[in-house]
Amino acid sequence: MNSRIEKIRQLLSELEAETATTPKGDAGFSALELPDIIGEIVDDLQPILTAYDAAFYWFLFRHSIAKDGNPQIRVSRSSLRRAVVKSSYTNAAENNISIGKVQDTLHALEQIGAIQKLGEPNRHGTLYRVLIPDEIEACREFRAERMAEETALFPLSHKDQYQLRTQVFERDAYKCRRCEKQLTRFTATTDYVKTPTEGGADTAENLVTTCTDCNTRGEKRTS
């Protein structure tokens, strides 16, 4: 284990030495933007990547934008091969993944638009620019699909829906308006007075607190 940590440490300092020679990027990111960017990577990029692609992307992101706000990073295939993932496919002594797999993965990330090659390789490696979901067309498309689905499922945002439900529960004192059972915020549900198909709206006036038994929106019951 210690030798593995030592190897990683050595590798990181090699990578740092390599990136020190990298020119400053065309776009800098501030530390304040990082939480949002990370959230977008998880929501909009990770789902469209394979596990390998994602591991490589996170590594490149961590050593570029997340390190100093500079989206450019120079990497050599041989260092990536040692750094990013431990292969479960080979029994090779160091359990590295092959150079070919590294190449394929970088190529896949380029195809998706998650990274962009900025020049031809030199003896320190190849210069790449790491892109964030806002800059990646495939991510913007995926986000649009995701948002459309979420809007269909929840016409209100999660936060608005939560606030509306709470408002209805408090008005009804957490009691089922149909059977008068006392409920809690964990057992209470809301039901429409007039369903959306009858023209009912998502408003407090059109919602009542119900227990799950009295809630007619639940799955059809046989009893």
Closest separation in Å from C-beta 217 to Zn ion: 13
Closest separation in Å from C-beta 55 to Zn ion: 50
Q: Is 182 a binder of Zn ion (CB under 5 A)?
A: no
Q: Which is nearer to Zn ion, 140 or 178 (CB)?
A: 178
Q: Is 214 a binder of Zn ion (CB under 5 A)?
A: yes
DSSP structure string for 89-152: S---TT-PPPHHHHHHHHHHHHHHTSEEE-S--BTTBEEEEE--GGG-HHHHHHHHHHHHHHHH
For 211, the token pair is: 């227990």
Residue in this structure with the two tokens 């590798």, named with its chain if needed: 11
Cα dihedral 181, 182, 186, 189 sign: positive
Size of the site for Zn ion (CB under 5 A): 6
The helix/strand/coil state of 190 is strand
Contacts with 111 (C-beta within 8 Å, 6 or more apart), sequence order: none
Among 147, 179, 193, 201, binds Zn ion (CB under 5 A): 179
Contacts with 9 (C-beta within 8 Å, 6 or more apart), sequence order: none
How many Å apart are CA 201 and CA 192, to the nearest integer? 8
The span of 38-46, 133-141, 146-154, 177-185 binding Zn ion (CB under 5 A) equals 177-185
Side chain identity at residue 181, one-letter code = K
Closest separation in Å from C-beta 180 to Zn ion: 7
Q: Which is nearer to Zn ion, 98 or 182 (CB)?
A: 182
Among 118, 178, 200, 202, binds Zn ion (CB under 5 A): 178
Q: Is 216 a binder of Zn ion (CB under 5 A)?
A: no
Contacts with 69 (C-beta within 8 Å, 6 or more apart), sequence order: 25, 28, 29, 30, 31
Closest separation in Å from C-beta 177 to Zn ion: 8
Q: Which is nearer to Zn ion, 159 or 221 (CB)?
A: 221
The span of 25-33, 96-104, 127-135, 180-188 binding Zn ion (CB under 5 A) equals 180-188
Among 139, 176, 183, 188, binds Zn ion (CB under 5 A): 176
Compose the 192-211 pattern: x for residues touching Zn ion by CB under 5 A, - for all others. Answer: -------------------x
Closest separation in Å from C-beta 211 to Zn ion: 4
Chain residues in the site for Zn ion (CB under 5 A): 176, 178-179, 181, 211, 214
